[in-house]
């Protein structure tokens, strides 16, 4: 596991990933590095997994901007839950617009519905 965070995220096979996710012996710094490698490789859900395990609130918070830009309602909701933060109607509006523009119509609708429910 030495220098694993510095290696390409794609080099982790599913068994190595599972073992890391289930290990209590992996240092938070290593988990942060692995999460960063996943984020840089575009595997945002995996990045969220590792940053959540490391309790890396800064990494998760920083990823929210990219998630909103990509219109990913699923990851937005997941990160907000991990961070124990309320949903932001302004963020949801931008997320819905971006999701619609990118053809992610289900995510756009979910974000619009949640924003509407917060307004009532």
Q: What predicted TM-score, i.e. pTM, was given to this entire model?
A: 0.83
pLDDT digits (tens, 9 = 90+) for 20-30: 878 888 889 99
* pLDDT score, position 119: 87
Specify the pLDDT at position 5: 44
Record the tokens describing residue 111, joined without a space. Answer: 């974000």
- For 8-20, write each residue's pLDDT tens digit: 455 677 888 788 8
Structural contact between residues 50 and 32, judged by C-beta atoms closer than 8 angstroms: yes
Residue 102 has pLDDT above 50, yes or no: yes
> What is the total residue count of the chain?
120
- Residues 16-41: b if buried by 16+ CB within 10 A, e if exposed: ebeebeeeeebeeebbbbbbbbbbee
Per-residue pLDDT reduced to its tens digit, 31-72: 999 999 999 999 999 999 999 999 999 999 999 999 999 999
HEC string for 83-94: HCCCCCHHHHHH
> What is each CA distance from 22 to 26, 41, 73, 89, 97, in whole angstroms?
9, 22, 26, 35, 37
């Amino acid at each position: 596991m030495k220098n694993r965070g510095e290696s390409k995220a794609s080099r982790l096979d599913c068994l190595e990933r599972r073992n890391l996710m289930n290990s209590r012996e992996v240092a938070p710094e290593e988990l942060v590095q692995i999460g960063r490698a996943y984020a840089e490789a575009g595997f945002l859900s995996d990045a969220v997994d590792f940053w959540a395990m490391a309790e890396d609130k800064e990494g998760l918070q920083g990823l929210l901007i990219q998630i909103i830009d990509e219109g990913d309602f699923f990851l937005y909701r997941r990160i907000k839950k991990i961070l124990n933060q309320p949903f932001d109607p302004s963020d949801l509006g931008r997320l819905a617009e971006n999701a619609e523009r990118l053809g992610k119509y289900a995510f756009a609708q979910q974000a619009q519905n949640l924003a509407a429910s917060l307004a009532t």
